[in-house]
Amino acid sequence: MSSIFVDQTANLPIYQQIADQVRQQIATKILRPGDHLPTIRKLAKTLDLSPGTVMRAYTELEREGTVATKHGGGTVVSVPADDPRLAIVRRSRLSNMVNSDIIQALSLGYSPEELDAAFQAHLSRWREERKTPSDSLRPSTTNTADTRAILIVGSHDLVLNMLVTKLKGKKPELNIEVTYAGSLGGLIALQENRAHVAGIHLLDEETGEYNYPYIKHVLPGREMAIIHLAYRVQGLMFAKTNPKQIQGIEDLRRREITFVNRQKGSGTRVLLDLELRKSGILPIDVNGYENELDTHVAVATSIARGEADCGLGIQGAASACDLGFIPLFRERYDLVIPDEHFRSTLLFPLINMISSSEFRNEISHVEGYDIAQIGTTTFCR
């Protein structure tokens, strides 16, 4: 049996923490039918608890049929990982935990929209925390003619995440695939007919204009719809206490500061390279320039773990990971859709959701975003 830990400061009673961890270990097949749980006396001593607390946890598990106590044989697991009883109990416990937190937040004056925005930001963070190297997203190789899924490729964005989550909740029958391959990766996926939608934020150095110059360069002559999603704030992210006293881009010259970068082709990488050139800083001068991650939340999570001192990213990601943040830029994030897909029935639900007051209200509390012009649509070729 894997170790059990308890948090004396948590709202959940200690005996329930123990019971939940046993259920979790059964569900993930760490514990299997017939495996023995530690004796009450042994687990109580290990956790520095009273035997009565452990006994209460074991009694609850036995009452629901998860474990069985055999006379002279100790307490053993009695259900397999896929047993419906275990699934029902785990779902019920999760529902109660979430409901309790929602009630507490509402009682403190937070709106449902604020709760949803905070939940989505933190969920993005923990998805990154749980990733393994094999989970890294790569551009889709699926041709749009071969699927009824909505294929979205492009730059990572929290509001886009919320849009997809909202749409899946409203229309669970829809199949939506999102690949974070950077802004240029999104446009190339459109060029190669591997996506219906590209999410981009690309600043053209020559004109100072966002997105349109790149669309015309990568997709010349094609009629494209550009749906505005949001303006968002980008800046430097670092540990909350700012131990390295980071003040701006110029600090990236300092060798004691370890930087974590976004991947080539991302709008954030384009923005960083532009600012480095303005400041006369060469990529080789930045310690960690070659360290690349695929999303804003991945960069923020790396900093929160202490793997890097600094990175460039959006304010919402910094907030989700409780980081310090210096705002530097206001950038435009758009969805680019070829005209034939824009007018197709496949994308109607997505396009309608973007313009809905329901969705606008839900995302209005996401930190670092200006959605005043969300849904504004223009066309170019």
Tens of pLDDT along 41-97?
999 999 999 999 999 999 999 988 889 987 777 899 998 877 777 777 667 767 777
Q: Cα Rg for the chain, rounded, in angstroms?
A: 25
**Which amino acid is it at 264?**
K
**Which amino acid is it at 142?**
T
- Alpha carbon of residue 369 to chain centroid: 16
pLDDT, position 336: 98
Domains of the chain are 14-100 (1.10.10.10), 133-380 (3.40.190.290)
Q: Residue 267: what are its φ and ψ, rounded to 5°?
A: -60, -35
pLDDT, position 146: 62
**What three-state secondary structure class fits 190?**
helix
Average pLDDT, the chain: 87
Q: How confident is the model at residue 209 (pLDDT cuts 50, 70, 90)?
A: very high
pLDDT, position 362: 86
Measure the CA–CA gap between 308 and 258, rounded to whole angstroms: 5
What's the token pair of residue 326? 């210096």
Tens of pLDDT along 234-275?
999 999 999 999 999 999 999 999 999 998 888 899 899 999
Tens of pLDDT along 130-146?
554 444 444 455 677 66
Q: Of 213, 156, 211, 200, which Cα lies nearest the Cα of 179? A: 156
Is the model's pTM score more than 0.85? no
Measure the CA–CA gap between 26 and 131, rounded to whole angstroms: 21
pLDDT, position 1: 62
Tens of pLDDT along 308-335?
999 999 998 999 889 999 999 999 999 9
Percent of the chain scored above 70 by pLDDT?
Answer: 92
Please give the full DSSP string across 108-137, using - where no structure is assigned.
TT--HHHHHHHHHHHHHHHHHHH--GGG--
